[in-house]
Every structure is written in C-alpha cells, then in structure tokens.
C-alpha cells in the first residue's frame, strides 16, 4: 500500500484549497495521514476543524522532518515529493498561470489521480443562530503588517448601504474580534465549523480575499470578494472551485500588486505610505451595485 503524508500549512485559505486534492487521494484509496504545520495560529489552526478528515495532528518542523521518510510520498502544498523532495517531482507540472487549487490537483496527477473538483467539509450549527434571511461579512486578513492592505477600509459604509437597500436582510459579521464591522450583528470568534455553517446558510457572503471567501466557494454560497492588492486573475481564484464568487477590485494600473506569486516593485512604496493603500479605495457604491446584481 502506497502511503502519503499530507501536510497542511500556511493560511486558512490555503488549507481550504487543498481539500479537492485530498478528497481525490482518498477516493483513489490511498492511505493518507494528515498533519498540520502551525504557522498562522490565529487563522489556520482553527480552519483545520472543517477539513474532511477525522484525525489531524499538529507537528513542529523538527518532528515533520523526522517522520517524512516513513512515507512513500509527502504532499506539502504546492509540491509533491518522494522522501521529502517536493520540487523535483512536481515542478514540471506547475505553472504560475494556474490557481492554487489547480496547482494542488496537478501535484496529485503525478500519482495517476485525475483532477476533479470534489467538495466536502465539516460544520456545526451555532447555539446563537438567528432566524430569517441574512448575509455574512468578514473584513479579514492575517494580523500581520505585510497583509493589512487586504482589508477593505470602507466596510462599515458598505454595511450601512446594504441595510438601507434591504432593511429586512440581517448582516452577520464573522472572523476574529478585531475584525468586527460596525453596524453588523457580531458573531466573530466562531470556530471554523460554525463559521462554515453561517456561510453555508447565508443568502450571500461578502469578504476580502481571506479564508471565509474560500469557505464560501467550498460550500457553494454566492460570494462577493473585495480584492485590493492580491491576485484575482491567477493565484487566488479558480474558475471552477470559486464559481460562486464574484470579484470586485480597484481600477488602479498597479492592481493587483501581487502578480501571481510575485510582488510589484511599487509595493515597498505603498507599505511606507500606510495606513491607507491606493488599492483599498474602492467606492462602496461599486460593491453595492454588484450586490444588487447578484442578490439584493
């Protein structure tokens, strides 16, 4: 029996985008052990709760290096390797024009496993679930200065405009406590399974390029994704996996600053000009118009 070590790491969105590849390996009846290499504890560690695997254990880099040689293959996104040699085995199949989801699926093609967009997740109904129609919102990013440009600075104004447009539609805020959006119903600090339940049962989900956007894609809920600096045309959006997600972005010439897996040279100047980045200045009306088109 061929054995595979499946290593989850990076941010929550990265974890979610490995799910189709993992499910394909299971469907192909490989013996797969899943471990979690903790890197972004405020986001990723809880997201593993909705990963469709009953036994996920956390390992540190030292332990990981010790156990890798016990397996025939090590899958550490976005590379598949034999005895830990990730790059050599799968780099020839990967292109920067592929989304992260597609790169994950291309890795397992090396094992004769076909690409298929399978979806599965775990969720639980929160005790404080509300009645009636609602949308979920999340102004999320990893709490790190490098990623703060992903936040949408006019989210409170957008929430006010949505409530004026549809007074009967509740607006529920997800994410961490510091990400609460004024004017919304506070359901921040939910665990990953509860977050998935909120989004799965929502009329729509509006967020930045963050892990809840990928949850909305996973559970096939209509989503409006607000993109600022990160790549919506190559890396972070897959045509099939994110088929329910509609992207709104700024129209400045340097957007997206993240060109696939690289950064535009102007990024350094923008970082120095904090706290407001030019790509964050997306008119709320532009996003509201997209909401009207899709669900309002």
pLDDT of residue 241: 97
Percent of the chain with pLDDT over 90: 60
Question: 64 and 179 in one domain?
Answer: no
Model pLDDT for residues 246-256, shown as the tens digit of each residue: 999 998 888 89
d(CA 36, CA 13): 14
Residues in the chain: 296
Q: Which of 75, 109, 143 is the last residue of a domain?
A: 109
pLDDT at 84: 66
Residue 164 structural domain: 134-294
Of the three residues 109, 126, 145, the one that is the final residue of a domain is 109
17 and 81 share one domain: yes
Report the domain count for the chain: 2
Whether 77 and 170 share a structural domain: no
pLDDT tens-digit series, residues 56-65: 999 988 999 8
> For residue range 110-136, what is the model confidence (pLDDT) as tens digits?
888 888 999 999 999 999 999 999 999
Quick check: is 128 in a domain? no
- Asked whether the beta carbons of 188 and 179 are under 8 A apart, the reply is yes
Specify whether the CB–CB gap between 169 and 133 falls below 8 A.
yes
- 149 lies in the same domain as 282: yes
Predicted confidence (pLDDT) at residue 222 exceeds the cutoff of 60: yes
CATH of the domain at 260: 3.40.50.2000
Kindly state the greatest CA–CA separation across the chain: 59
């Amino acid at each position: 029996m061929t054995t595979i070590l499946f290593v989850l790491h990076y941010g929550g969105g990265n974890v979610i985008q490995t799910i189709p590849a993992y499910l394909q390996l299971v469907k192909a009846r490989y013996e797969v052990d899943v471990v979690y290499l903790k890197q972004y504890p405020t986001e990723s560690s809880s997201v593993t709760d909705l990963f469709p695997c009953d036994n996920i254990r956390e390992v540190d880099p030292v332990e990981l290096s010790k156990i890798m040689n016990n397996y025939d293959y090590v899958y550490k996104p976005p590379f598949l390797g034999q005895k830990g040699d990730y790059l050599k085995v799968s780099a020839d199949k990967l292109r920067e024009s592929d989304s992260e989801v597609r790169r994950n699926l291309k890795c397992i093609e090396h094992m004769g496993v076909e690409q298929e967009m399978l979806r599965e997740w775990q969720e639980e109904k929160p005790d404080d679930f509300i009645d009636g129609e609602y949308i979920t919102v999340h102004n999320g990013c990893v709490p790190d200065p490098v990623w703060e440009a992903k936040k949408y600075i006019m989210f409170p104004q957008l929430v006010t405009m949505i409530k004026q447009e549809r007074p009967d539609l509740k607006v529920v805020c997800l994410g961490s406590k510091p990400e609460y959006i004024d004017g919304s119903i506070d359901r921040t600090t939910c665990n990953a399974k509860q977050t998935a339940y909120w989004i799965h049962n929502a009329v729509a989900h509006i967020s930045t390029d963050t892990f809840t956007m990928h949850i909305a894609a996973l559970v096939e809920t209509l989503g409006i994704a607000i993109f600022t600096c990160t790549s919506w045309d190559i890396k972070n959006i897959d045509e099939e996996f994110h088929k329910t997600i509609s992207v709104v972005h700024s129209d400045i010439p340097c957007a997206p600053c993240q060109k696939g897996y690289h950064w535009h040279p102007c990024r350094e100047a923008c970082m120095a000009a904090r706290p407001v980045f030019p790509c964050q200045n997306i008119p709320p009306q532009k996003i509201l118009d997209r909401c009207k088109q899709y669900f309002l």
